[in-house]
Amino acid sequence: MRSIPSPGFSPVLATAVAYRRIGWLFTIAWGAFVIFRRLLRDGMWADGLTYAAISRNMAIGKGSLWAPVFANSFWLPYNQTEIFYEHPPLLFYIQSWFFRLLGDTYATERIYCFVVLILIIVLIIQLWWQMVPAAHLLHRYEWLPVLILFTCSLTEWTYAQNYLDATMSLFCLLAVKYTIVGWQNPGNSFLGASIAVLALVAAFLTKGPVSLHVLAVPGLLGLFYYRPVQIAPAIRWTLVLTGGFLLLFSLLLLYEPARMFLQSYFNQQVWAALNNKREVLPTTAGFLGRAFILKIVLINAAPGLLVMGILWIVNRIWFKSSASVSPLSGVARFFAALCLAATAPIMATTKQFDYYVVPALPYIALALAAWMGPLLLKVIQGISLEQRSLRIVMALGGIACLATGLYSITIAGTPYHSYRNILADVRKIGSIVPSDSKLGVCPEVIADPLLHGYIQRYYRIELTTFAKQSDYFLTNLQCQDAQHPTLAQSGYQPLPVSLTKYFLYQRTMPVSLTKTL
């Protein structure tokens, strides 16, 4: 349908299309700036490096789906075997195909991260269209939850850092979407339930039990979205999702490699965390320490809440007499409750990191968009820009996109400032120490997560102890003075290479069999 403008008349349809385009232009410009300033640069935290290294190893035949391999050494004391039991293996398997197709380059895991983010955005848009009635004025404001997602503080680095939580979030959103599809379309209920269950299993095999918040979707949908409340469908769909998940998971456990891996994972990670035998974090200590995860939720929602407050004040002062916009209370209640379902259970353990909130970010964005949307639309209707003004704003949006694109080109491949020194050191070490070899390190260095991640990811070098008598040895400022005499006695000589944090040695004489540690 296309409206034909008349002289001096701005068609409603053309104006709505213009606002939608403006919304998307500024969303793309801001979102690209937020994501690309880290995604396109060289530099990543140890977790993402570890997952990329495991995926690359799997692609070259080192490890498999149920026996993923990082190295024989690890910076945490919980994983002391070659097989990596810290997390379920699905992300590693999926990402290994990116390495098979794209090769072992710095860009491979970044392309994977970008694909995951794009798919998450697509699912956010589809959920908005599903939950907001087609006749509602905000139905085509699908850019709003995407824009709000890019205002969350965690979005900037977690989606670009190859975290398991982003991939798990993708599968959780897929399960939420098809649960709603099956509920809203009884004729497609079997297809919807099947895809939802498969997506839930995939989410579980990516990050474990934290994905099971999806089982709360039917109950939350029946209680918070629909009026009057729908209890019977909620119970029925909860049983379908739970029964389907348990059935597939039980079948999976019949396969011995899967059962052995998942048993080791549960013992090493899940039960240990629930019994507070994992990392000790000062952020979760004290009486209110377990509420840390909820504080992170509020921090990420804060920019959206601030804008919503400003819009409320503007409406109260300047647009009080304007026609009100139908609220989306059910949508807001449902996604807010789903956000709590995804985060509140984490309070059962003191092992809480801020990035554990990542799966809830799309729910935060959708809930805030539903609350904020009517206020924003009322302001837009009250301002009522003319077509010429709309074209100017649209041009500014295009310029913002162009500027972001040029900025992204200039930073692509450059080291991120906080990783510049470690990257320079690792490249110098990797140019001397042969790939696929072992590098001896002192105990202080073996606990260095970034060195572990970079040296394995970029050069397939494994860190080991002095007892292994490797050809090369690395010390740092903390252990250099104590380690140097022992290294000299064992035939190691310092190499003339300038490193910011480390000192590199090479063994120049055979190891004496009479020497002991």
Indicate whether 1 pLDDT > 50.
no
Structure tokens at 246: 């348990």
Question: Is residue 377 domain-shared with residue 437, that is, in the same domain?
Answer: no
Question: Is residue 372 domain-shared with residue 428, that is, in the same domain?
Answer: no
Residue with tokens 């500027």: 403
**Which residue type sits at 396?**
L
CA-CA-CA-CA torsion for 145, 146, 147, 151, nearest 10 degrees? Answer: 90
Question: Is residue 435 domain-shared with residue 370, that is, in the same domain?
Answer: no
pTM (two decimals)? 0.92
Residue-by-residue DSSP string for 295-336 = HHHHHHHHHHHHHHHHHHHHHHHH-TTSPPPPP-HHHHHHHH
Q: Does residue 467 lie within any of the structural domains?
A: yes
Overall average pLDDT of the 349-353 stretch? 84
Question: Is residue 348 domain-shared with residue 431, that is, in the same domain?
Answer: no
- Report the first-to-last Cα separation within the chain, whole angstroms: 82
**How many other C-beta atoms are found inside a 10 Å radius of the C-beta of residue 63?**
23
Percent of the chain exceeding pLDDT 90 equals 68
Structural domain of 326: 42-383
Confidence of residue 150 (pLDDT cuts 50, 70, 90): very high
Q: Does residue 18 lie within any of the structural domains?
A: no
| pLDDT recorded at residue 433 | 94
Q: Which of 170-184, 267-281, 316-330 has the highest mean pLDDT?
A: 170-184
Q: What is the distance between the alpha carbons of residues 487 and 493, in angstroms, rounded to a whole number?
A: 8
Q: Does residue 198 lie within any of the structural domains?
A: yes
Which domain CATH number covers 462?
3.40.50
Indicate whether 9 pLDDT > 50.
no
Q: Which of 25-29, 74-78, 294-298, 500-504 has the lowest mean pLDDT?
A: 74-78
Q: Domain count for the chain, please give it.
A: 2
| pLDDT recorded at residue 323 | 63
Burial grade of 515 (CB within 10 A; 0-12, 13-18, 19 or more): exposed
Last residue of a domain, which of 366, 383, 400? 383
Q: Give yes or no for a contact between 167 and 91, defined as CB atoms under 8 angstroms apart.
A: yes
Indicate whether 148 pLDDT > 70.
yes
Per-residue pLDDT tens for 447-482? 888 998 999 999 999 998 877 778 999 999 888 888
Question: Is residue 201 domain-shared with residue 111, that is, in the same domain?
Answer: yes
Question: Is residue 368 domain-shared with residue 473, that is, in the same domain?
Answer: no
Q: Does residue 24 lie within any of the structural domains?
A: no
| pLDDT recorded at residue 431 | 93
Classified as helix, coil or strand, 232 is helix
Asked whether the bond before 228 is cis by omega within 30 degrees of 0, the reply is yes
Last residue of a domain, which of 340, 367, 383? 383
Contacts of residue 372, Cβ cutoff 8 Å, sequence gap at least 6: 144, 148, 304, 307, 308, 311
Question: Is residue 69 domain-shared with residue 141, that is, in the same domain?
Answer: yes
Q: Which of 38-47, 151-160, 266-275, 505-514 has the lowest mean pLDDT?
A: 505-514
Question: Is residue 267 domain-shared with residue 221, that is, in the same domain?
Answer: yes
Q: Does residue 4 lie within any of the structural domains?
A: no
Overall average pLDDT of the 486-508 stretch? 91
Question: Is residue 343 domain-shared with residue 434, that is, in the same domain?
Answer: no
Q: What is the CA radius of gyration of the chain?
A: 27
Q: Give yes or no for a contact between 400 and 26, defined as CB atoms under 8 angstroms apart.
A: yes
Indicate whether 147 pLDDT > 70.
yes
Question: Is residue 498 domain-shared with residue 374, that is, in the same domain?
Answer: no
Question: Is residue 374 domain-shared with residue 449, that is, in the same domain?
Answer: no
Average pLDDT of the chain, as a whole number: 89
Question: Is residue 134 domain-shared with residue 220, that is, in the same domain?
Answer: yes
Q: Give yes or no for a contact between 511 and 490, defined as CB atoms under 8 angstroms apart.
A: yes
Overall average pLDDT of the 163-178 stretch? 97
| pLDDT recorded at residue 50 | 93
Q: Does residue 268 lie within any of the structural domains?
A: yes
β-bridge partners, 144: none
| pLDDT recorded at residue 383 | 83
Residue with tokens 């991640």: 453
